[in-house]
C-alpha cells in the first residue's frame, strides 16, 4: 500500500474509470484523480440489422462470474452460451460431471465471432459474485454497443451503468426470479431495431474511442501547461 500511495502522489496525473476508484485514490494518496470514461470500439461493435435475435442467453467474461448460478439457470431449460478465454472456466463446463454439456461453451473465440454472439443473443447476463469487484465493464459496453440488453448483478460496476438504456440490475440469486427477469427484459428489446439503435447511440456518445481520446488529449495539454 505504501508503494501504491507513493506512485499515486508522484504521478503527474492519475486516470481512473469509475467513481469508486476515484474515492480510493483520494483515500490512499490524498489527491484527486481524473475520471476518464471506459472505451469501447463502437465502429466494430454495432447493431447488425440483418441478424435476428436468437433464444440464447450469453454469459461472457473470464472472472468473477457465478458459474454455479449459470448452471442452475441452464438446468431450468434456458439455453446459455458461455464465452471465455479462461481454461479453468472451460474445464468447469466440459469435464465429466453434472455440468457437462449443460451450458454451451465457446472458448477463445475471435472478436468477430464474439461480436456475432452479442448481435444474436437475446440478452447478455452477468451474474457477478463479488459486489465490490470491478468486473464486467468490458462485456457491458460491448453488448450495449451491439444493441443487446444486459442483466447484471448489483455491485461496483453495475451502479456505474444503472441508468443506461438496456441495462437491468438484478437483486436476487433466485433462479426462478432471474429466469422471469430474463424473459421480461428480452421481450422489451427482442428484434426491436429502434431500441437497439438507441442503446448503441447512447454508448457511442459516451464511450467511443474518439470521445475518450479527446478527454485524454485535453488532460495531457492541461498537465503540460501546468508544468510550464
Q: State whether 77 and 2 are in the same domain.
A: no
For residue 49, the model assigns a pLDDT of 86
φ/ψ (deg, to 5) at 124: -100, 130
pLDDT, tens only, 130-146 = 766 667 889 999 999 99
What SS3 state is found at 59?
Answer: strand
Average pLDDT over residues 98-118: 90
- How far is residue 26's CA from residue 94's CA, in Å, rounded to a whole number? 44
In a domain, 169, yes or no: yes
Average the pLDDT over 97-116 and give the result: 88
Question: At 107, phi and psi to the nearest 5?
Answer: -105, 130
Residue at 49 is within a domain:
no
Q: Give the pLDDT of residue 224.
A: 64
For residue 66, being part of any structural domain is answered with yes
Same domain for 100 and 197, yes or no, is yes
Q: Is the pLDDT of residue 100 over 90?
A: no
Question: Which helix (H) or strand (E) covers residue 193, if one does?
Answer: helix 193-207
What confidence tier does 94 reach under pLDDT thresholds 50, 70, 90? confident
Q: State the sign of the Cα–Cα–Cα–Cα dihedral 170, 167, 142, 182.
A: positive
Residues 79 and 144 in one domain: yes
Edge-to-edge strands, sheet with 123-126: 104-107, 80-84, 57-60, 123-126, 150-153, 167-170
Domain count, the chain: 2
Q: What's the rounded Cα separation, in Å, for the pair 17 and 21?
A: 7
Confidence of residue 217 (pLDDT cuts 50, 70, 90): confident
- The domain that contains 83 carries what CATH number? 3.40.50.2000
Q: What is the pLDDT of residue 133?
A: 66
Q: Cα(181)–Cα(171) distance, rounded to whole angstroms?
A: 11
Alpha carbons 18 and 36: distance in angstroms, whole number: 8
Query: Quick one: 66 and 25 in the same domain?
Result: no
CB atoms within 10 A of CB 222: 12
Please report where in the chains the cell 428489446 appears, as a residue.
189
Residue 225 domain-assigned (yes or no): no
pLDDT digits (tens, 9 = 90+) for 25-61: 899 888 888 888 999 999 999 999 888 888 899 999 9
Identify the domain containing residue 105 by its residue range.
57-203
- The region of weakest confidence among 7-16, 73-82, 113-122, 163-172 is 7-16
Query: For the ranges 37-41, 75-79, 215-219, which has the lowest average pLDDT?
Result: 215-219
Same domain, yes or no: 27 and 74: no
The C-alpha cell at 190 is 427482442
CA distance linking residue 10 with residue 99, whole number of Å: 49
Confidence at residue 86, expressed as pLDDT on a 0 to 100 scale: 93
In a domain, 176, yes or no: yes
Q: What is the pLDDT of residue 134?
A: 66
E strand or H helix at 91: helix 87-94
| Among candidate residues 110, 192, 103, 212, the one with its CA nearest the CA of residue 149 | 192
- Residues 101, 168, single domain; the answer is yes
Amino acid at each position: 500500500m505504501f508503494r501504491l500511495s507513493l506512485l499515486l502522489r508522484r504521478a503527474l496525473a492519475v486516470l481512473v474509470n469509475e467513481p469508486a476508484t476515484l474515492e480510493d485514490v483520494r483515500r490512499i494518496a490524498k489527491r484527486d484523480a481524473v475520471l476518464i470514461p471506459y472505451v469501447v470500439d463502437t465502429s466494430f461493435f454495432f447493431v447488425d440489422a440483418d441478424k435476428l435475435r436468437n433464444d440464447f442467453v450469453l454469459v461472457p467474461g473470464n472472472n468473477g462470474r457465478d458459474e454455479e448460478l449459470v448452471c442452475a439457470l441452464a438446468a431450468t431449460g434456458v439455453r446459455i452460451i458461455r464465452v471465455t478465454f479462461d481454461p479453468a472456466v472451460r474445464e468447469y463446463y466440459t469435464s465429466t460431471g453434472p455440468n457437462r454439456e449443460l451450458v454451451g461453451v465457446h472458448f477463445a473465440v475471435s472478436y468477430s465471432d464474439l461480436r456475432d454472439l452479442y448481435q444474436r443473443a437475446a440478452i447478455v447476463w452477468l451474474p457477478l459474485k463479488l459486489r465490490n469487484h470491478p468486473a464486467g465493464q468490458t462485456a457491458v459496453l460491448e453488448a450495449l454497443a451491439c444493441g443487446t440488453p444486459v442483466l447484471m448483478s448489483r455491485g461496483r460496476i453495475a451502479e456505474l451503468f444503472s441508468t443506461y438504456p438496456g441495462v437491468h440490475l438484478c437483486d436476487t440469486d433466485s433462479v426462478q426470479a432471474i429466469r422471469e427477469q430474463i424473459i421480461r427484459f428480452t421481450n422489451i428489446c427482442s428484434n426491436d431495431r429502434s431500441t437497439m439503435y438507441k442503446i448503441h447511440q447512447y454508448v457511442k456518445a459516451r464511450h467511443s474511442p474518439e470521445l475518450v481520446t479527446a478527454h485524454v488529449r485535453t488532460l495531457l495539454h492541461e498537465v503540460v501547461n501546468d508544468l510550464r
